[in-house]
Chain A
Amino acid sequence: MVYEKRLDGRKFDELRPVEANVGVVKRAAGSAMFKIGKTIAIAAVYGPRELYPQVFQNPTNGVLRCNYNMMAFSGSGDRVRPGPSRRSKEISLVMEKALLPVVDLSGYAGTVVDVFVELVQTDAGTRCAGICAAAMALADAGIPMKDLVSSVAVGRVGGKIVLDLSKEEEDYEGHATDIATAFSTRMGQVTLLQMDGEVSREELKKALELAKSGCEKIKEIQVKALKAKYVGDLNE
């Protein structure tokens, strides 16, 4: 069946409603909440701190370490078993790689900067929401960065290329294609790219263009949230 109208009524190039907030974990060096649709991610940054065991230290650079975790009640079906899974380990890894191209830890040799990402509620696009929150938390912590990273999923649903798939769209007719992306929009670089499903090369090009424009919109929201933490202070 041709996908004429999106299940939730959005335009094909429209994001779900996005909310972002900086400084949500007071004890952390930096933190942020990112909500897209019903997916809610919280990120907190600790460090730079000494990396143990010492053999993991990089003598010329700091190490960025991400940890992605779904709260046990955050899944759409059964309770998620606590503790790392193969899925969460892989996501932690690709999040790290999505952020590394913009993060400069050369001044912190031998240390680690930890980014903990917790999903409170999930409804598609969790790793992308996690990356958006993590980038904001790193900026909030004052870690040197060449750019922010913005992240969104695109995909093919019923033959149409769409931005920011919902859970229902991911499940559409059992064979939607889901492409998770992240961009440094200033540098014009893709820093996360994972796909489940099938597309033609032409469709992929189109999808990446759509993803980039989606990330530009997300970046505006991230920037606004980062500034809002300081603009609002006098009124508190």
Chain B
Amino acid sequence: MSNIIREHLLELFSKDFRLDGRKFDQYRDIKVEYGISSRSAEGSARVKIGNTEVLAGVKLELGEPYSDNPDEGTIMVNVELLPLSNPEFESGPPGIEAVELSRVVDRAIREGKALNFKKLCITPKEQMWIVLIDIYPVNDAGNLFDAAALAALAALKDAKFPKIEDGKISYRESTGQKLPLEKLPLSCTVYKIGNYFLVDPVSEEELIVDARLTVGVLEDGTLCSLQKGGDFGLNPEEVDQMVDVAVKKTKELRKVL
């Protein structure tokens, strides 16, 4: 990372200004589009946050319930950092960044109990639905964490169960019945650069981040997931301040879904 850019950014911040003129706690314009792969996927969505664009799709499969949760279905979240979306991303098996992002998105949905897992069980010990959520950035212009989390929820919201015939899924026929999406655990990532906290960084800002905290928040304000990242530590007061921003911003994010 270049010193002159960091220096310049911090100077801007000291004047209460960001690269594109936004406030520290202001997101870029957010657009959500549903059903972008409606022929192929059971649910799909496109989320744009400024120039950042992420696609998510839901496929449903049948499986045998896990022995420790015989009356529940399950989910799986996978993010692939496509080299199409950012010149720094490389082809090949998912790197550690993609794995972390997948798990952070998964954690908010799972621990926030977005889907009622019990209702994803068809026959206890015998058959369950597996909800497979695949997330792809198409253009990475910063803040993939929030864009990916939002896209996953949007795709879940869009998804409908296909028909089952003779114990197999008939993908071409939809039942029209939505998934048991009972809660929307929204994620907001708050970034710390120098002494400043901000949301929704653009790529240049992301390059000089000291620390970040992704917070999953339910409608009633309950926190359902946390992930601290970045090379620097945070003190408990800072964590509190960042959570405060996240709780406020997730209320706004809730309106775009």
Contacts and interface: CB of A to CB of B under 8 A. Distances in A.
Interface in A11-44: 24-28, 38, 40, 42-44
Contacts of A40: 37
B86 interface: yes
Contact of A78 (B59, B83, B84): B59
B58 interface: yes
A90 B44 CA distance: 28
A74 interface: yes
A76 B51 contact: no
Of the four ranges (under 10, 10 to 19, 20 to 34, 35 or more), the interface on chain B belongs to 20 to 34
A11 B106 CA distance: 47
Of the four ranges (under 10, 10 to 19, 20 to 34, 35 or more), the interface on chain A belongs to 20 to 34
The residue among A27, A72, A120 with the most chain B CB atoms within 10 A of its own CB is: A27
Contact of A79 (B83, B87, B132, B138): B132
Given A27-B86, A82-B80, A74 B139 contact: no
Contact of B40 (A25, A43, A44, A76): A76
Contact of A83 (B83, B93, B140, B172): B93
A25 B37 contact: no
A67 B91 CA distance: 9
Interface string A110-134: 0000101110111100000000000
Given A26-B51, A79-B61, A73 B134 contact: yes
A26 B141 contact: yes
Contacts, number: 94
Nearest to B134: A72
B82 interface: yes
A141 to B, nearest CB: 12
Contact of A46 (B37, B55, B83): B83
Contacts of A26: 51, 139, 141
Interface string B26-57: 00000000001111110010000001000101
Given A26-B51, A72-B59, A77-B171, A121 B87 contact: no
A94 interface: no
Contacts of B44: 73
Contacts of B172: 76
A74 B80 CA distance: 14
B141 A42 contact: no
Contact of A118 (B40, B61, B78, B82): B82
Given A67-B83, A72-B132, A121-B39, 15 more contacts: A25-B84, A27-B139, A27-B140, A40-B37, A43-B84, A71-B55, A72-B57, A74-B37, A74-B40, A76-B40, A76-B172, A82-B80, A114-B83, A121-B38, A123-B39
14 contacts: A27-B139, A27-B140, A40-B37, A42-B138, A46-B83, A71-B57, A71-B134, A73-B41, A73-B44, A77-B171, A78-B61, A82-B78, A82-B134, A121-B36
Interface of A: 24-28, 38, 40, 42-44, 46, 49, 67, 69, 71-79, 82-83, 114, 116-118, 120-123
